[in-house]
Structures are given as C-alpha cells and as structure tokens.
Amino acid sequence: MSVMSYSPGGRAARWLYGIATGFALFSGFGQMPIFKRYYLADLPGMAWTANFFITSDIHYLAAALLLGLLAWRLALDARTTGAAWSWGPRSWWGWTLLGLLVISGAAKVLRNLGIYLPPPLIMVLDFTHLGSAMAFMFTGLVVLVKPKPKPNLRGLAG
Amino acid sequence: MAQAISRRNFLRGGLATAAGVAASGVVLPQAVRAAGGQELCTVLDLSKCIGCEACVDACRETWQATVPDPVNPMPKPFPSRVPTQDWSKRKDVSDRLTPYNFLYVEHLDFEHKGQALELHVPRRCMHCVNPPCANLCPFGAGRVEKNGIVNIDPDVCLGGAKCKQVCPWHIPQRQSGVGVYLDIMPSYAGNGVMFKCHRCLPLVKQGKQPQCVEVCPEHVQTIGLRPQMLAQAEALARQKAQADGAAPDRWRDYVYGIEENGGTNTVYVSPVPFAVVSAAVNQAHAQAAPGQGKGRAGAGKQGGKRRKAGFAGRPPMGPVNNTMESAENLTAALVLAPLAGLAAGFTRLFGKKQPPSDQPPQEQPPSEQGGQS
C-alpha cells in the first residue's frame, strides 16, 4: 500500500527533525550519570558527554529545534487537508508521547528557572519525561527496522 | 522557591521588601512565617563563632542515626572502576562532610593587615535559591521545599552522585550499599544514597529551629525569612566593612552566599573580606594532613583529576557563578522557537502550497519515511 507524502521543507526538514530528536534523546539520557560510568565519555572527543551542564544545554537547544519544527508543522497542517507527512509522528501514540514530553519538559524548565513545584509532582514529571522518551525512542526504532512493504506502483501504472 | 519573574528581580524585590518590613517594625514569629511557605534563610556572623563545634555535635547526635549502615557484603559495581564509598566505619570523622556528618567547622589561622587572625567557619549545604543539585536530579530525589530547604529523598536517590558533581561546593556525600538501588540492579545502576544537610527539615516542619541554630552558645546563626535575613546581613556587613577600614559600600566583600551560585539561603558575614577567607580556606585545605580523608571513601574528584585529600568533603569559599544561568538563558529559545515555527507555518514559509484538490500530493513509498512513531 502506498502512502501519500507531504514534505514541505523537503529533505532538510526531515534531517532537522532527525537531528533534533536524536540530540534530544542522547542529551536526555546524558542527564543520567551513565556516560562516564560506561566509558562513553572516555572515547576520543566525547569527554563533554560527562559534563551535565553541556548536555543540559544541548537538550535545551534540541528541544527548541523540535518545538519549532512541530509548531511549524501544526501551523501548516491547519491549512492543509489530511496529507501524510514524511517526518514526525503519524499516529495518536506518537503525538501522545510527544505531548507528554512537551508538558513534562515545560514543567521541568519552569523548575530550572527557580519556580516552585511540589516535590512529588516533580518526581512524577521526571519519570513521565523519562518514560515517554524511552517509549518514543523504542517506537521510533521499531518503525525504522520493521520490514517495509513494497511500494504499490500498480496504481500509478494503471 | 516562589520565583515568579527572575532571580535578580526576586532579589531586588526581596531587598525592597526587607527594607519595608524593617521600616514597619513588623516582626512575626519565624516558625509561623515559615509555615506560610516562604523561604527561610540563615545568616552566620563569623566574628561570633568560637569554634566550639557544639553545632557539629548536635547535628551528629540528631541525624547520624538516620543514615543507615550498608549491607554486607556491599554489591560490587560494574564496571569495576566505579568506586564504592563506605563511611560507615568512619562515623567519627567530623572535620569534613561525610554521609554521616552533615556539618563541620573550618578552623582558619591567617594574617590580615599585618594581624594574626583566627576564624571559624561552620560549613554545610548552602541551600541555594535555585539549586542545580535538585533541578538536575534525573529522578526527582533532589527536592526543594516551599520553605527553601534543599534536601535529598533517601528513598528515591540512587547514589549516582550527579548532585555532587553539579554542586559548586560538592556538598552531597555518597554512602554505598544503602538505598533503593539495592532492589533494582545494584551492580549496574546506582551506587548508594547521597546525604547532606537538610537543615533539620523534620524539626522545621514542626516549627522548631535547626539544631545548629538552637544549640549555638554564641548565637552565631540567625534564621528567618529571606528578605529579612538579607537586610540583616547587609546591615551587619556594612558594620564589618567599616570596622575593617573599608568603605561601607564595599559591604558585599564581607558577605558570602547572597550572590554565589545565583543566590543561596545561607549567608556568611565575616570581619574580613571573603577574598581573604577564601585564600585561607584554600591554604588550610592544601595543608591538610595527608591522613585526613584518606582512602577511597575520602578521596574526591574535580575536573577529572583526583583532588588532594584536604579538599575532599571540604567546600571552597571562592566566588561561584550561577550554574543555572545557561538554562535560564536558553529558556528564551524554548519560548521563541515554537512561536517562530507557528509564524513560519501560517505564512507558509518554507512550506509548499497546498496541492490542488484534484492532484494528489507527492507519492512516496513508506520506506522513505524515517523517524515516525
């Protein structure tokens, strides 16, 4: 079965989306003290991965890029009818995960500004953010590696 | 931690409020005020401290027993280079921060303006206004209470020591072999629990004062609402500056904690400039006896190099930039990016125009659709 694809911005937008999600996931996992423990920071040129302030800044920048792209897409979607996009979530599941990530991430940003949030809520937000990111990553990986159906060219030939 | 606009504005507003409160002469009981959810701050007048360590003893007597002993044998972390830190057999150590010792007194001997001086500096968590240890904890174990007390939930902490790494003073201390990580994957994730001063949070919740404030025979510490305490610290520092022969407007040289790391809720006031105190602290740490803090549990790392034993568990007292400043600044990008995206989308910037309804959009096989979920 073929899929109609709508790709404003072309390949550049797809790459930007991939870069934003990739860096957001990488820097997000880097917020846990695992890169140094498990030798990633020992690889040549990777020492910065053990610096939590650098990975935090990268996380912010990747999140900003991702938010910009998604907002752009939503605005275009509002003026477009039912076209499937060649990047980004296509299912309710993907949008739900992204929504959870944005909401929990926004709350964590507020906390980083020094705005008080109750500690139990922060713990829920932290685990929501982590869980949603892991689910998003595994879902993306499954989509990437699952066998792809062959394109249906009969419709075009006919 | 109620900070509606920005830290600087909060500080300005706080000082203005303090001036107003001082002018009005309205003083309510501190415990009542604290119950209202406002930040508590302590001011330490170092010229009063005689170094008796009554505060240290009271802190240890009250809280040491709340830190559990590790399991035996302790799980061996993987990879093997990950150090376990066990202070359970060295609970008597009181000249530095350890998981079983949240407060110690730095005894300093130095010269200032040709005079030999002695100064005693109680050291513990600074309870930052916007603490990186709590903000950056990935599991929510680092907590900031409404009254400004920064503490670590021992039931949640996995002992990864990130809080210690991001703390400019490296305050939290790890005890391996305790905590919830033992029930998850003790060898592969976590390494114990981080402990530090919680400013007697359970007592403060009951309306009582922290032990170190309560037992001090010289009344070195005062605790109260942040605006009041900042005003008190400024007034005291102006006196110290004048007594030291400096201009009163140099009073900030005589306080430590108001601006450090973006502001803390522990403010020291010294009879000599803190540049002098900082140098004396560094000298004392460098000269610390080799036996002090010896062993894996006592060693510390900073900047990728193993620090000398004298520095481990003994925080410096130099200038500290706001570690959360970068995150605060980057928040603007998070706000502007989606606005820019919406604007670009609604003006169809970079976007192709909507295909005519009788022509389908470009057809692509699904194999080219990466990154979907």
Domain boundaries, chain B: 7-323
What Cα–Cα distance (Å) separates residue B291 from each residue in A17, B299, B309?
A: 55, 11, 8
What Cα–Cα distance (Å) separates residue B357 from each residue in B19, B114, B360?
A: 68, 89, 7
| Contact at CB, B363 and A4, closer than 8 angstroms | yes
What does the alpha-carbon distance between residue B151 and residue B200 come to, in Å, rounded to a whole number?
A: 10
Instruction: Give the distance from residue B107's alpha carbon to the nearest chain A alpha carbon, in angstroms.
Output: 33
Residue A145 has pLDDT above 70, yes or no: yes
Please give the average per-residue pLDDT across B252-258, as a whole number: 97
pLDDT of residue B29: 38
Q: Tell me: the pLDDT tens digits for B295-343?
A: 444 444 443 344 456 788 999 999 999 999 999 999 999 999 999 999 9
Residues of B in contact with A130 (CB under 8 A): 138
Strand partners, B104: B123
Q: What is the full DSSP assignment across chain A?
A: --EE-B-TTHHHHHHHHHHHHHHHHHHHHTTSTTTTTTTGGGSTT-GGGG-HHHHHHHHHHHHHHHHHHHHHHHHHHHTS-SPPBSSS--SHHHHHHHHHHHHHHHHHHHHHTT----HHHHHHHHHHHHHHHHHHHHHHHHHHHSPPPPP--HHHH-
**A103 or B345: whose pLDDT is higher?**
A103
Q: Tell me: the pLDDT tens digits for B182-191?
A: 999 999 999 9
Burial class of residue B29, CB neighbours in 10 A (0-12, 13-18, 19+): exposed
Please give the average per-residue pLDDT across B275-290, as a whole number: 87
What pLDDT band is residue B181 in, cutting at 50, 70 and 90?
A: very high
The separation between the first and the last C-alpha atoms of chain B, rounded to the nearest angstrom, is: 38
The separation between the first and the last C-alpha atoms of chain A, rounded to the nearest angstrom, is: 15
Domain ranges of chain A: 8-88, 89-146
What pLDDT band is residue B11 in, cutting at 50, 70 and 90?
A: very low
What pLDDT band is residue A157 in, cutting at 50, 70 and 90?
A: very low
Quick check: B363 and A2 in contact, CB under 8 A?
Answer: yes
Angle, vertex CA A28, rays to CA A26 and CA A33, nearest 5 = 95
Please give the average per-residue pLDDT across B6-19, as a whole number: 40
Q: Tell me: the pLDDT tens digits for B30-70?
A: 443 444 458 999 999 999 999 999 999 999 999 999 999 99
User: Which option is the CATH number for B7-323: 3.40.630.40, 3.60.15.10, 3.50.50.100, 3.30.70.20?
Assistant: 3.30.70.20
Quick check: B3 and A115 in contact, CB under 8 A?
Answer: yes
Nearest to A114 among B130, B166, B351 (CB): B130
Interface test with B, best of A2, A11, A80, A121 (most B CBs within 10 A): A80
Instruction: Give the distance from residue B69's alpha carbon to the nearest chain A alpha carbon, in angstroms.
Output: 24
pLDDT of residue A99: 95
3-state secondary structure of B146: coil
Q: In this structure, what are the phi and psi dihedrals at residue A2, rounded to the nearest 5 degrees?
A: -85, 160
What does the alpha-carbon distance between residue A80 and residue A145 come to, in Å, rounded to a whole number?
A: 30
Nearest to B372 among A65, A88, A127 (CB): A88
What does the alpha-carbon distance between residue A94 and residue A109 come to, in Å, rounded to a whole number?
A: 22
What pLDDT band is residue A89 in, cutting at 50, 70 and 90?
A: confident
Residues of A in contact with B79 (CB under 8 A): 37-39
* Helix ranges, chain B (H): 7-24, 30-35, 54-63, 132-135, 162-166, 201-205, 211-214, 226-243, 274-286, 325-346
Q: What is the full DSSP assignment across A4-50?
A: E-B-TTHHHHHHHHHHHHHHHHHHHHTTSTTTTTTTGGGSTT-GGGG
Evaluate the CA torsion angle B262, B228, B148, B160 in order and state its sign: positive
- Say how far residue B17 (Cα) sits from the centre of its chain: 24
- Say how far residue B370 (Cα) sits from the centre of its chain: 43
What does the alpha-carbon distance between residue B10 and residue B4 come to, in Å, rounded to a whole number?
A: 8
Residues of B in contact with A53 (CB under 8 A): 166, 323, 326
What does the alpha-carbon distance between residue A19 and residue A65 come to, in Å, rounded to a whole number?
A: 9
Quick check: B263 and B12 in contact, CB under 8 A?
Answer: no
What pLDDT band is residue A149 in, cutting at 50, 70 and 90?
A: low
pLDDT of residue B345: 86
Strand partners, B101: B98
Structure tokens at B220: 């070195």
pLDDT of residue A6: 63
Burial class of residue B278, CB neighbours in 10 A (0-12, 13-18, 19+): middle
Q: What is the dihedral of CA B49, B50, B54, B59, to 10 degrees?
A: 40
The amino acid occupying position B34 is: A
**To the nearest whole number, what is the mean pLDDT of chain B?**
84
**Closest Cα in chain A to B6:** A113
What does the alpha-carbon distance between residue B350 and residue B341 come to, in Å, rounded to a whole number?
A: 11
Residue A87 has pLDDT above 80, yes or no: yes
What does the alpha-carbon distance between residue B267 and residue A108 come to, in Å, rounded to a whole number?
A: 27
Q: Within a 10 A sphere around the Cβ of B210, how many other Cβ atoms?
A: 25
The amino acid occupying position A32 is: M
Q: Tell me: the pLDDT tens digits for A25-69?
A: 999 999 999 999 999 999 999 999 999 999 999 999 999 999 999
Contacts of B123 (CB under 8 A, 6+ apart): B97, B103, B104, B105, B106, B314, B315
| Contact at CB, A3 and B330, closer than 8 angstroms | no
**Closest Cα in chain A to B348:** A76
Block residue for tokens 């713990």: A123
